[in-house]
Amino acid sequence: MTPSVQPPEETFCMDCGPDAALERHGSAMLRCPRGGAGQRIPALPLFVVTGARGVGKTTVTASLRSRLPDCDVFEIDATLQVAALGWEVWRNTWLRLVHEVALNGRVSVLCGSLQPDQLEHLPARTLIGPVHCCVLDCPDAVLASRLRARPSWRGTSTETAIAQHQRYAAWLRATIDPCFDTSLLTPEQTADQIATWIRQQMKASPVSR
Ligand SMILES: [Zn+2]
């Protein structure tokens, strides 16, 4: 059997080796802590559209794709099997992909249950520019009826699961701004508002490409 080799997780200095993790200097430079050559990174912004299960993320994501031709929109659950290696590995892998997309000069929008604080300490966070997060939300009763209507194999329709998702929705609502209420807006209107917010943020902090 081939022994499994753990690839180095950090972005490290190619001259000094894996124990010299590159450090961020300013908005778009990575530097070797031992004084070696620096490396420019695109540092484009990353947008996150988060929310509890049942708030309508998947429906809105589909509508969002066509509204943001300058961005690459991802449904993060598309790679959920990677989470078998650990949630941090999964999230870090997304940040690495976001960086790869940025090298192509494009901005990523990640849609799924993610919190900004879950990204801050990941190794690949140094590769990414500012992270902007918005949350999709709906009143508790609407969330409960949407989750009850889901097939039982998804494991979200029990009363215990519903209460847990309601608590998570309340936490996100209190923590993240802006918040878009999917019970008041159609998926198209929600996608319009998110796209407008993203374009405003990109205009407010333009990054040289
Ligand atoms: Zn070095």
The total domain count for the chain is 2
Name the 3-class secondary structure at 72.
strand
158 shares its domain with 102: yes
The pLDDT tens digits of the residues spanning 33-88 come to: 898 777 888 989 999 999 998 888 888 998 999 999 989 999 999 999 999 999 99
Going from the Cα of 120 to the center of ligand 1, the distance in angstroms, rounded, reads 24
User: Which structural domain, as residue segments, surrounds residue 23?
Assistant: 12-41
Going from the Cα of 125 to the center of ligand 1, the distance in angstroms, rounded, reads 19
78 shares its domain with 177: yes
17 shares its domain with 99: no
Going from the Cα of 19 to the center of ligand 1, the distance in angstroms, rounded, reads 9
21 shares its domain with 91: no
DSSP code of residue 179:
E
Q: How confident is the model at residue 152 (pLDDT cuts 50, 70, 90)?
A: confident
Hey, what are 53's tokens? 């299960």
34 shares its domain with 104: no
* CB-based burial label for 123 (10 Å; 0-12, 13-18, 19+): middle
- The answer to whether the CB of 15 falls within 8 A of the CB of 37 is yes
Report yes or no on 147 lying in a domain. Answer: yes
Among candidate residues 206, 191, 209, the one with its CA nearest the CA of residue 68: 191
- Count of residues in the chain: 209
Q: What residue spans of 70-158 are helical by DSSP H?
A: 87-103, 116-119, 140-148
117 shares its domain with 16: no
Report yes or no on 152 lying in a domain. Answer: yes
Going from the Cα of 191 to the center of ligand 1, the distance in angstroms, rounded, reads 44
The pLDDT tens digits of the residues spanning 168-185 come to: 999 999 999 999 999 999
- The answer to whether the CB of 52 falls within 8 A of the CB of 168 is yes
